Structure 1
Amino acid sequence: MPDHPVPLMDSPEVIEPPDVGMSHTVGQMILEQEEGGFESEEDTVANFTVTSFSVPSACEEASNGSESVTELLGAEGPSDSAMPRSLENFNLGKVLGEGTFGKVFLAEYKDTKQLCAIKTLKKERIIAKNDIKSVFKEKRILQKVTSAEHPFLVSLYATFQSENHLFFVMEYLPGGDLCHLLEHQGAFEESKAMFYTACIVLGLEELHRNNIVHRDLKLENLMVDVHGYLKIVDFGLSKDGFRYGDRSKTRCGTNCYMAPEIIDEMAYSRAVDWWALGVVFYVMIMFQVSIMPRNQLSLSL
């Protein structure tokens, strides 16, 4: 597999990536932490005390004795990953984003200066929301996606943990997400929208080939890599083992991208991803989407 995909057509011009703590002149990270980047004093780098991800420390067992906490141990990354499973091997930069369970930091692998994105998840929040199975499911799907080595799907490099956090070391995508691009550029020309759509189509085909339905395809979950190609990210709501012909009634996703059968709480198939792609394409060329009353999806010209 080449380091980057063979161009299918002329790659669209990518705007300058957002300020994420990188110097574009020398290609090195700026390790100035944004004010308020970490949530509290215990979240500083010095207090990210990393332990084995597979065996709970004696301190952890003595301090919690909780089945929930024990369940969080053992979530190792891909077995063939050369990336060390310790935060000490990385320089942390600025915050790239924030989610329900934690933040995503720009990071630099010290040995090779490779940039990556480290997703931090607070164990306390995961346990409080009883969402342990979802975290492991996302890890499992990311490992499966990474093993496919597909150019339009994000890669997971490694996972490890500290006493209070889980860490996912991910591929860094400096071009930002489609929402950011649209906010800066406005509606795309049809040729650019078609280029990005082609990337998504190939990515979705690979997911479905591996019996994975994404279920949350949207602008924010589509990011541009350093070569200008689009990658599908965030598998938190995805479902694996979902074969052709399978059905689900779980209501999940983002309202304005939901297929009618999800909104109407009917059984749905993997086709819901294609509906969401249609919404994404419409927004790219029209830059307009709205939710109408009675839970009916309406796209307004």
Structure 2
Amino acid sequence: MGIRKITSYFLCLILCFLSCKKDDNNNITIELRDRTDQQIIDNDSIVGYLETHYYNASAFGASNPNPSIEDLIIGKLPDDGILPDPTNNTLLIEAVETFSVVFAETDYDYYILRLNQGGGDSPTFADKVRVNYEGRLLDETIFDSTTNPAVFDLLSLVTGWSKAVPHFSVSEGFNEIGDGTVSFVNSGVGVMFLPSGLAYFASPPFAIPQYSPLVFKFELLQMSQNDHDGDGVPSYMEDLNGDGNFSVNFNDLKDTTDDDTDGDGRANFDDIDDDADGILTQDEIVVTTYNEATKETLEALPLESNQVLIKIKQELNGTFTGTVVTFTDTDADGIPDYLDKA
């Protein structure tokens, strides 16, 4: 189709450069493999891991209403292949959920172990999250982890994170401990098993081999809604075709099925004038804030069909502020003003 995710476009340029780089012996230093072929290899490796490893399932569920990744123990089956202590342990292959996604024109499967859903809202693929995590290779080598919660824009991470994390919810709240730290309550807790094509593929950082499937344990603590270009429209709403990526068809900038309304080669989430009519997007929408005593009151606001409640924030005085965006359509042609090129 010629549609490329923007990050993939630049990644391809980088990889093409690197693939041509030679060492002193004129040998190519990076081998670029076919994505579809590599996905088959990666999926076999991941499934093999899931079939030969188990976790302490009894440590999660009703008996542990506030779990963390520290509670998770993953073990390898003994040589006889018999699951030890089946009352408390479960094979990973029997517990994971399988998800499919298209990325870089390749069909991928990835797997999620859902240990706790979480009690708050769910982020979108374009949001910012606060997490604890640990990253491993399939041979159990730990290549990264947090000692304190880290904040990431999901778009800045490997693609698998923006696919897997939105299946979970953030914490329902937190308690102040008194030493300047907080304890989060009912966080989303899980494990994602990613093929290399949804991870670093041919260009991993130090300590990760090329074409490595990755395993990430994570706790989803908090989220905040992103508006990357500051135009008043949340970034996730600028994914016009709803495919969970920001794509631009560089082969046909007049393509109406990608996320670049005005065909300027810049996706709407990074474009302050989405329709190139000379009027900034922020001046073609109406943003209204409401303050109420409870979150539920804001969620029950009567909204018109062209209005969206985009975020709710709790203030220091305990009240809640909600932001509503109205997408005006001055000429009543069914296209919001900020996307109307006419």
For this structure pair, what is the TM-score category when the shorter chain's length is used for normalisation? under 0.3
Say which one has the larger Rg: 2
Larger relative helix fraction: 1
TM-score normalised per structure 1: 0.25
